[in-house]
Amino acid sequence: MKRTIIALLLVGALLTPLAAAPGDYTDLGSGWGETKTMASMGGYLWIIYGDTLYRVDQEGNYRDMGSGWGEGYHMTATDNYLWIVYGDTLYRVDSGGNYQSMGSGWGETLAMTSLNNTVYIVYADTLYRVEAE
């Protein structure tokens, strides 16, 4: 009986380090130093790096989804769209990288996020709710 308990304790001690604990991290690759903003949508990270929008999987593999986003400094995501403030304009971007202008006048955006499939933007000193769907 004593040997069985010791064996179980040893097996348990060996298995413990295999499980990730809060705060553990994995290096997914370097070279992202020009990242301007990022969000998650549809099981992917979406990153504006330099002038380009990238879709990145959980292993760090990435796909170029289009360039011309160099002035995109604020981004969030709802269930089906990325929302990017680029310069003065708010854009809605689908999972294929296709985009649609949702209007201008957002040049003083300070922050944005989403909650329950709705976009929230702090512009100048005012909080706005933007209907996403």
Give the Cα-Cα-Cα angle 111, 128, 102 (nearest 5 degrees). 85
Report which secondary-structure segment, H or E, holds 95.
none
Looking at every residue in the chain, the average pLDDT score rounds to 87
Q: How far apart are CA 87 and CA 28, in angstroms?
A: 30
Quote the pLDDT of residue 12: 47
Q: How far apart are CA 117 and CA 41, in angstroms?
A: 11
- pLDDT band per the 50, 70, 90 thresholds, residue 20: confident
Q: How far apart are CA 9 and CA 20, in angstroms?
A: 19
Q: How far apart are CA 90 and CA 86, in angstroms?
A: 6
Whole-prediction pTM value? 0.80
Domains of the chain: total: 1
DSSP 18: G
Give the range of the structural domain holding residue 73, as residue numbers without chain letter.
34-131
Residue 18 located in a structural domain: no
Which tens digits make up the pLDDT trace of 75-89?
A: 999 999 999 999 999
Residue 50 located in a structural domain: yes
- pLDDT band per the 50, 70, 90 thresholds, residue 1: low
* Paired tokens of 47: 């990153």
Which tens digits make up the pLDDT trace of 43-99?
A: 999 999 999 999 999 999 999 999 999 998 899 999 999 999 999 999 999 999 999
Residue matched to tokens 């809060």: 22
DSSP 64: E
Burial of 74 (0-12, 13-18, 19+ CB in 10 A): buried
- pLDDT band per the 50, 70, 90 thresholds, residue 13: very low
Residue 103 located in a structural domain: yes
Quote the pLDDT of residue 25: 87
Residue 53 located in a structural domain: yes
Task: Specify the CATH number for the domain of residue 127.
Answer: 2.115.10.10
Residue 96 located in a structural domain: yes
